[in-house]
Structure 1
């Protein structure tokens, strides 16, 4: 009987020492983030805000001090979609729980976009990371290098407009 009690106590102690899983590639948060990427890819703007908390801050290539709201991000994405046709490929997801107990989902992908006015194709690797609280995104950071696009757009803007032929009477 003593041995059984000791084994049970040992198992209870061992079970209580186990940490919560801190890294995974399968979770409800990852599933939510996959849906948000699908919304972006499909330009399903009506469902864009669904995974975000009302007070979420989005920081794409900016610091937290320059974060935008979900509504502002939606408008920015609509503007970009008007200029580009695009796909997202090579998607990878992971979720981590930090030492502070924060839940973050990391995403890596390859954005392939064609600017509609010139038909030039761009391939840009990018990384997003989103912090979740109670199943909602409360902050999101996106990182990518869009300098080639910006440079090309500036060059295009510097070109003189073709002069309109004036009608002769």
Structure 2
């Protein structure tokens, strides 16, 4: 009788373990979408950006949520950066998590290497982005990196028109 109870308990436990939802993964349709977005960023295919975002999406790079900008504004900032830099993104890592509130977020880590066109100086900037997905589209995105060395150099270059309040997108 003990063996039957233990066997039954083992079956119940294994079935309940199989029915748990996946809350962390490194492979998902959302990650695939974010990889395509990053590829569009790296190859400067700005027309592909809106494909990955909801119409009302806000992007908050190095700012608080209430200062987030639209996808169109983010594209313009990236285009402005492309006028100043040539860049690559390396060491890419992706993960997706489902929070306790059932929100789906894709986290990205990478190393941005940019060469300032006017001076040839190379910058290496580690950065992190996190994007919330609903129905396969990004509805909000946050980016974090330290671009203070770049900003100081740009402010000190009279031939580059950058104000201290500007930010480099990545």
Q: Same fold (TM over 0.5)?
A: yes
Unpaired segments ≥5 residues, structure 1: 160-169
Residues 1:158 and 1:44: Cα distance change in structure 2 (over 3 Å): closer
Q: Tell me the residue number matched to 1:99.
A: 100
1:147 and 2:148 correspond: yes
Q: Deviations over 1:47-92 (max 9, x none)?
A: 1111000000100000001000001001110110111000000000
Unpaired segments ≥5 residues, structure 2: 161-170
Matches within 5 A, 1:1-169: 15-16=15-16, 18-157=19-158
CA RMSD after TM alignment: 2.0
How far residue 99 of structure 1 moved from its aligned partner, in angstroms, is 0.6
Normalising by structure 2, we get a TM-score of: 0.84
3-state secondary structure, aligned to 2:78: helix
3-state secondary structure, aligned to 1:48: helix
Number of corresponding residues:
154
Looking at structure 1, the residues matched to 159 and 78 of structure 2 have their Cα atoms a distance apart, in angstroms, of 25
Task: Point out the structure with max Rg over C-alpha.
Answer: 1
Q: Which runs of 4+ in 1 moved over 2 A?
A: 9-18
Residues 1:158 and 1:34: Cα distance change in structure 2 (over 3 Å): closer
